[in-house]
Structure 1
C-alpha cells in the first residue's frame, strides 16, 4: 500500500546502485568513530556516499575519494547518526542494524530482527537507549513502538500504541513527532486518504495524544484544525525542538511534498512547558507571512530564533520536479516577535533534507546550488554574516544530510 511518508521523491534513491562498500567483519573494531561530522551524499548516476570530517569550515571533499560508496539495498538517507555510529532499518532484511565507518568501508557491527515495522520517529531516551515509534509496514494503520538497547542491540520492549486506526475515507496514519516528557510522551499525527496509486491527501486535523510512558497507554487526545500534517519522519528532516524554557515547538507541513493539503497554511505550533495540549493562543502562520509559500524543516538557533526552509511555488511545476529544481530559500525567524529574515543564500534543491547543524554560535547550512555548486555555508548567529565553508565536489549531486557525529 502507498504511504506518503514512505515514498522518496527521487527514483534513483531506491534503485540505481551498482556497488557495495558495506561489510561485516568478525574481528572489527567496535569503538565509535572519533570524527565530528558526517555527510551523506547522493552522487551522479544514483550513487550514494557516506563520509566523515572534522571540519565544515573550509576546504573541499570528493566523496568518491574520501567516502564510502554505499549499497542501496543496505543503507539510505533515513539513517540515525549518534555518537560515532549509524543505525538503520533494513527494509529488505527486516533488520535494525548498527554500523560504523572505517575509511572507505561501512562496517556492520550488530543487528536485531525488526519485522513489520516502519520507523516514523526516534528519540534517544539515554546514551544507549533508543525509542522508535512507527507503523506496521503492511498497511500503515497501527501505531507501534520499539525500545532498543543500542549497546547490546537488543529489544527492551515493544508493542502497539492504542491510537485509533484510520476509518472512513482515511486509509493510513502518519506520525509527525514523538516528544518524551518524563513519564509522558506527546505523539503528533494525522490521517491520510488514498486518492489513487500515486496520490493521497490528508485530514484537515492535527492530533496530539498524551501517552503514558513507559506503559505506552493512551491517556487523552487534543485536536487542532489551524493546519495539518504535524512534523514528519525525523530520520529524514527535523521538524520540532524545545526552547530554553522547555516550550516545545513543531511545524506543520501541509505542502504537496508531505501533507498534500496546500490550501492549508504551513504553521508553527507550541506546547508550553508543563502542558500537554497545544497552546491555542499561539500560531506562526508561515504561508500567510511575507514568505507566501510552504516550508519543510525547522532548526533551532537558540534565544527563540530558528531557521526554516521554504519552497518557491513560482519556480517548480509540481511534485515531478520539486526535488530536482533549485527553488528552496532559507529564512531566520523569531518565534516570539514573528519576524522573518531571508538569508542571502543560493537557491537550494532537494525536497526533504537534514541540512542544518547548529554548533556554538554557527549554523552550518548545506546548500545544493545548481549554479554555484554544493557547499556548507556558515551563518554567524550573532552578527548575521554568511560565508562559504566546505565544498562537496567531484561526484556530488546532492548533499542529502549533514549530522553531528560526535
Structure 2
C-alpha cells in the first residue's frame, strides 16, 4: 500500500512538473507572438533614456513613458527601427546582426536574429507579406551599394549581394541612397554622391540619380541624371520621403537642406515618376524652397487625393546644424501636388530634425509635435474639414516624440 501511494505521489509530481513545463513553454511561445496594439511611439526622455510605448488610441488622454513604456537599451535599439505587423526590426551594428523584437509588458524581447555583416541600412521596403528588401552600403567607406532580401517571418536570407551602381569618384567619397521603388520586374533606386569636407561635415553632388535594375537579378540597366535638385529622399527608416498615389504615380522629395544634402543653395523639391515610367517626369517639379515657404523641408506624408503634408525648417530661427535639433523651428504645410497650392497648418513650432511623425488613417492625420512652449502632443488633423485638435499628450519625462508608427 505504501509503495502504491509513493508511486501515485511520484506520478502526481511528474504530472504537475509536466504541466508546469508545458505551460511555461506555451507561455514562451505566446510571448513571441506579435503585439496586437495599433500604434507604437518612440520617446526620447529628458534624461537621455529611450522608451517604446504601445497603444490603441492616439485621440485623447495622457501617457508618461516612464510609467507605461519599455525602457530601451541604446546598444540594442535606435530610432531607425522598422515597425511592421506587431514586431520591431533593427540592425545591431555592434553584433553585425539583423534582429527582430517585440514588447512584452515593459520589456523588449528578442524574437529572432540573423547575421548581417558589413551592411549599413539606408532604405527598407516591404515587397509582399513578410518579404523585406533592405538596400544599404558597405560599412567601411559607404561606397558600395548592397541589398538583402529577408524572409522576416523566418528571419532568413532569401538573397543578397552587391549592386553594380558606380562607386563615387573624383572629389566624391560616398553614396547616399534616398529611395527604392519596385515596379513589377524593375527596381528603381534614387541616390546622390557625397563629398567629405571635414570630420563631421560633408556636401553633395549637384545631381540626383535614378538607376533602373532588373529585378530580382539586380543587374543595372540604365541611369537617369537630374540637376533640378539633389539628395533625393533620405534614410526612410528615420523619416518618410516618398509614396505612390492612387493612380500609381510615385512622388519623392529632394532634401538638399543642411540636415541632409547640405547643398542649401539648391531647392527642396518634389519629383514625380509617372506610372509605367522609370525616370522622373522632366515636366514636373514642385519647388518648395521657391514657394511661399522659402525654406528647406524634410519629410513628406501622403494624405490622399493629391494632397500631402511636408515639414519645413524656419531658417530665421536657428543658427546652424548645432541647434537644428533642439530649437523649435519646424512648420507643417498641406500641399496640393497638382495645383501646387500650399497651406500652413496652425500648429506650434516643432523640434527634432528628422522624425517619423505623421500617421494617416482614412480622413485623419495624426501629427506628433514636440513644442517647447505647449508640450508634446499628437495633434489630429481632419483632412476633409481642415480642422485641428489636440489628441494624446506625451507627458512626464518626454523630451521628444521621436517616431510614431502603425504597429498593425
TM-score range normalised by the length of the shorter chain: over 0.9
Given candidates 29, 32, 36, the residue that maps to 1:30 is 32
Q: Show the 5 A alignment for 1:92-171.
A: 92-171=94-173
> What residue number does 1:215 align with?
217
Q: Show the 5 A alignment for 1:4-403.
A: 29-403=31-405
User: How far did 1:48 drift?
Assistant: 0.3
C-alpha separation between the residues in 2 aligned to 1:88 and 1:384?
36
> What residue number does 2:5 align with?
none
Contact 2:47–2:397 (CA<8 Å) still a contact in 1? Answer: no
C-alpha separation between the residues in 2 aligned to 1:281 and 1:378?
35
Dislocated runs of 4+, deviation >4 Å = 25-28
User: How far did 1:28 drift?
Assistant: 6.1
Contact 2:378–2:393 (CA<8 Å) still a contact in 1? Answer: yes
User: How far did 1:393 drift?
Assistant: 0.4
> What is the DSSP-based 3-state SS (H/G/I as helix, E as strand, rest coil) of the residue aligned with 2:211?
strand
Q: Can you give the 5+ residue segments of structure 1 that lack an aligned partner in the other structure?
A: 1-24
C-alpha separation between the residues in 1 aligned to 2:29 and 2:292?
57
> What is the DSSP-based 3-state SS (H/G/I as helix, E as strand, rest coil) of the residue aligned with 1:64?
helix
C-alpha separation between the residues in 1 aligned to 2:175 and 2:248?
28
User: How far did 1:230 drift?
Assistant: 0.2
User: How far did 1:142 drift?
Assistant: 0.1
C-alpha separation between the residues in 1 aligned to 2:387 and 2:30?
44
> What is the DSSP-based 3-state SS (H/G/I as helix, E as strand, rest coil) of the residue aligned with 1:235?
coil
Contact 1:206–1:227 (CA<8 Å) still a contact in 2? Answer: yes
1:264-310: CA deviations, max 9, x gaps? 00000000000001100000000000000000000000000000000
C-alpha separation between the residues in 2 aligned to 1:391 and 1:323?
21
User: What is the TM-score normalised by the length of structure 1?
Assistant: 0.93
User: How far did 1:126 drift?
Assistant: 1.3
1:342-393: CA deviations, max 9, x gaps? 0000000000000000001000000000000000000000000000000000
> What is the DSSP-based 3-state SS (H/G/I as helix, E as strand, rest coil) of the residue aligned with 1:46?
coil
> What is the DSSP-based 3-state SS (H/G/I as helix, E as strand, rest coil) of the residue aligned with 2:33?
coil
C-alpha separation between the residues in 1 aligned to 2:317 and 2:221?
45
C-alpha separation between the residues in 2 aligned to 1:309 and 1:371?
19
Q: Can you give the 5+ residue segments of structure 2 that lack an aligned partner in the other structure?
A: 1-26
User: What is the TM-score normalised by the length of structure 2?
Assistant: 0.93
User: How far did 1:85 drift?
Assistant: 0.4
User: How far did 1:26 drift?
Assistant: 6.5
Contact 1:28–1:109 (CA<8 Å) still a contact in 2? Answer: no
C-alpha separation between the residues in 1 aligned to 2:370 and 2:168?
38
> What is the DSSP-based 3-state SS (H/G/I as helix, E as strand, rest coil) of the residue aligned with 1:237?
coil
C-alpha separation between the residues in 2 aligned to 1:280 and 1:128?
35
Instruction: Tell me the number of residue pairs that the alignment of Structure 1 and Structure 2 aligns.
Output: 382
> What is the DSSP-based 3-state SS (H/G/I as helix, E as strand, rest coil) of the residue aligned with 1:350?
coil
C-alpha separation between the residues in 2 aligned to 1:58 and 1:34?
20
C-alpha separation between the residues in 2 aligned to 1:363 and 1:395?
25
User: How far did 1:30 drift?
Assistant: 1.9
C-alpha separation between the residues in 1 aligned to 2:31 and 2:45?
28
C-alpha separation between the residues in 1 aligned to 2:233 and 2:363?
26
> What is the DSSP-based 3-state SS (H/G/I as helix, E as strand, rest coil) of the residue aligned with 2:47?
helix
Larger radius of gyration: 2
> What residue number does 1:18 align with?
none
